[in-house]
Chains A and B, each alone.
Chain A
Amino acid sequence: MSEPVVWLTIFLLSVFVGVEVIAKVSSTLHTPLMSGANAIHGVILLGAVIVTGSTESTVALVVGLVAIVLAAVNMIGGFVVTDRMLQMFVRRKPGGGK
């Protein structure tokens, strides 16, 4: 297989997996699920790090560092805020007080 076809294969299989894994989610979890998916695409941080680490010009370096800050906010913030939401779903003692 040529390389673009390999990538296309991975892409299409991922589409199916993506739809399949959330096919039966209840509306109760829509908010945390959206937030969690949001955090996962924060992995663009990886791309930002690689691009910034191989740049020479000062302008590109500054742009890259901005991208890193933004991506890190997305990724770390996303996972933390999702966890905060989910924590409350777990702590479900019957009749639990304040």
Chain B
Amino acid sequence: MIPTWAQLVYLACAMAFILALKGLAGPRTARIGNLIGAAAAVVAVATPFFYLELDHVPLILAAVALGSAIGVVGARRVQMTQMPQMVALFNGVGGGAAALVALLELQELGPHADDVGWFTLAATAFTILVGSVSFAGSAVTFAKLQELMTSRPVVFPGLPVFFALAVVAGIVLGVLVVTDPGMSVGIPLAALGLLLGVLLVLPVGGADVPIVISLLNAFTGLTVAAGGYVLGNVVLLVAGTLVGASGTFLTLLMARAMGRSVSNILFGALRGGSTLGAGEASDRPVRSAGPEDVAILLGYAERVIIVPGYGLAVAQAQHTLRELVDVLLTRGARVDYAIHPVAGRMPGHMNVLLAEAQVPYDQLVEMDDINGEFKHTDVVLVVGANDVVNPAAKTTPGAPIYGMPILDVDEARQVVFLKRSMRPGFAGIENELLFDPRTSLLFGDAKDSLAKVLSAVKAL
């Protein structure tokens, strides 16, 4: 039995987690919210040391220290461009931890199965299965985002059938855990969860991977909640449920921002080859321009909009871009940055990337506010973005990004793309806008190109 004081501490921690999430939802309160969450987590983890007669305390503390050290080093070293895969990785290990905890609990419960009740055993089975799905699924999303494997959907014939069979097998094993609890079922259940996780994420295309990360995040939350029920611990129940519910909701919000449904993202590739992009460079003619041409376009434009993309961040070209914008501003042009909600590798990622580069916040304009401006714009400079300006989202049903709201760059008088190559964007489809007669392309590394354009503008 947990003593009353400890239960009250757990209750306080659960409430702190609610405050933390609430804080994270607003820009002014986000940081303090996160710190409240961290403090509550530390207090919650410290509590059992004071009321339980725990064995192996030195080993446990060593393991906590090791995990914390790995977490801190990873969190400090990761580049902002790699944030989505970092979130996936952290989520995956959390899911793995929940599955292992449930496996251990199953071993404890096994001999006393009659006293435990079927619901507890079902919750244990759920945690093992879904925790493993989360672990393996996150590992695949990590591999896709880190480009350890292709980011395009991977489908093989019979995948839907195989997947359905695996789900049925999961349910059967789950029932077996309830009727005959023990490791002999628990371990196959975990293995099946790993398989399901891989099968779930393989068919998801690169551009949709962040949505899946969010969904797996919600899954892990629910496993933690189920684990809380099994262990009779209210903090785990509340914290896990909060993350599960808000994560599911966040997943829906993100999917809506991309004009997609979650089922389409998960199973679209299974229904047909339509979400497969070409993934290859085209050899159709384009109009390429030199830095001087671009400088003349920009230098004499009255209205300029910059569309920053992931390519900008990868090239670390933010500061050069800022300098260029400053020069254009002193020449009397009006310049804004247009921020697409899913620019970057994950919703809201571009805001993080530009915040890192300390681009003045008041120059960043969100999609809905700037979309009407493009038709009055002399030059749009697209730096390392592709999918978020691709008119195929409006014109080509069946394209992976069809239905996603885009920046209406195609309405501007002139468009300049800074690109490394003709390789399509993350969604793997070609952008018709590249072949438009009003479009010029300046090939090369974004930082390099911007530096050349900058000196050419200064020389005007």
Query: Which residues from chain A sit less than 8 Å from chain B, CB to CB?
Result: 4, 7, 10-11, 14-19, 21-56, 60-61, 63-98
Chain A: minimal CB distance from B240 (Å): 6
Residues of the B chain whose Cβ atoms lie less than 8 Å from the Cβ of A90: 31
Residues of the A chain whose Cβ atoms lie less than 8 Å from the Cβ of B103: 63
Is B74 in contact with chain A by the CB < 8 A criterion?
Answer: yes
Is B234 in contact with chain A by the CB < 8 A criterion?
Answer: yes
Q: Are B358 and A97 in contact (CB under 8 A)?
A: yes
Residues of the A chain whose Cβ atoms lie less than 8 Å from the Cβ of B449: none
* Bound Cα distance from A93 to B37, whole angstroms: 27
Q: Are A49 and B97 in contact (CB under 8 A)?
A: no
Q: Are A73 and B74 in contact (CB under 8 A)?
A: yes
Q: Which of B26, B47, B54, B63 contacts A72 (CB 8 A)?
A: B63
Q: Are A98 and B75 in contact (CB under 8 A)?
A: no
Is B132 in contact with chain A by the CB < 8 A criterion?
Answer: no
Chain A: minimal CB distance from B58 (Å): 11
In the assembled complex, 15 residue pairs joining A and B whose CB atoms fall closer than 8 Å, in A order, are A15-B245, A22-B25, A22-B249, A30-B341, A31-B351, A37-B21, A41-B243, A44-B223, A44-B224, A45-B97, A48-B101, A49-B64, A67-B100, A72-B67, A88-B80
Closest 6 CB pairs of A and B: A72-B67, A77-B71, A18-B245, A53-B54, A74-B94, A14-B241
- Assuming the contacts A34-B214, A37-B243, asked whether A74 and B97 have C-beta atoms less than 8 A apart, the reply is yes
Residues of chain B from 217 to 252 with CB closer than 8 A to chain A in the complex? 217, 220-221, 223-225, 227-229, 231, 233-247, 249-250
Q: Which residue of chain B has the shortest Cβ distance to A83 in the bound complex?
A: B34
Chain B: minimal CB distance from A4 (Å): 6
- Assuming the contacts A29-B348, A70-B93, A86-B30, asked whether A44 and B101 have C-beta atoms less than 8 A apart, the reply is yes
Q: Are A89 and B243 in contact (CB under 8 A)?
A: no
* Bound Cα distance from A35 to B30, whole angstroms: 12
Q: Are B48 and A49 in contact (CB under 8 A)?
A: yes
Q: How many residues of B contact A (CB 8 A)?
A: 112
Q: Are B68 and A36 in contact (CB under 8 A)?
A: no
Interface membership of chain B positions 199-225, coded 1 if the CB is closer than 8 angstroms to chain A and 0 otherwise: 000000000000001100100110111
Is B436 in contact with chain A by the CB < 8 A criterion?
Answer: no
Tell me which of B38-46, B146-154, B260-268 binds A: B38-46
Tell me which of B82-90, B158-166, B171-179, B377-385 binds A: B82-90
Interface membership of chain B positions 46-88, coded 1 if the CB is closer than 8 angstroms to chain A and 0 otherwise: 0111001011110110011111101110111010100110110
* Bound Cα distance from A82 to B34, whole angstroms: 7
Chain A: minimal CB distance from B385 (Å): 16
Residues of the A chain whose Cβ atoms lie less than 8 Å from the Cβ of B247: 34, 37
Chain B: minimal CB distance from A35 (Å): 5
Is B105 in contact with chain A by the CB < 8 A criterion?
Answer: yes
Q: Are A7 and B229 in contact (CB under 8 A)?
A: yes
Q: Are B250 and A34 in contact (CB under 8 A)?
A: yes
Q: Which of A37, A89, A97 contacts B221 (CB 8 A)?
A: A37
* Bound Cα distance from A55 to B135, whole angstroms: 24
Interface centre among A86, A87, A88 (most CB of B within 10 A): A86
Residues of the A chain whose Cβ atoms lie less than 8 Å from the Cβ of B27: 26, 28-29, 89
Q: Are A47 and B233 in contact (CB under 8 A)?
A: yes
Q: Are B71 and A75 in contact (CB under 8 A)?
A: yes
- Assuming the contacts A28-B348, A67-B100, A72-B71, asked whether A54 and B360 have C-beta atoms less than 8 A apart, the reply is no
Q: Are B347 and A51 in contact (CB under 8 A)?
A: no
Q: Are B48 and A24 in contact (CB under 8 A)?
A: no
Interface centre among A14, A41, A86 (most CB of B within 10 A): A41
* Bound Cα distance from A75 to B74, whole angstroms: 12
Residues of the A chain whose Cβ atoms lie less than 8 Å from the Cβ of B33: 36
Is B426 in contact with chain A by the CB < 8 A criterion?
Answer: no
Is B346 in contact with chain A by the CB < 8 A criterion?
Answer: yes
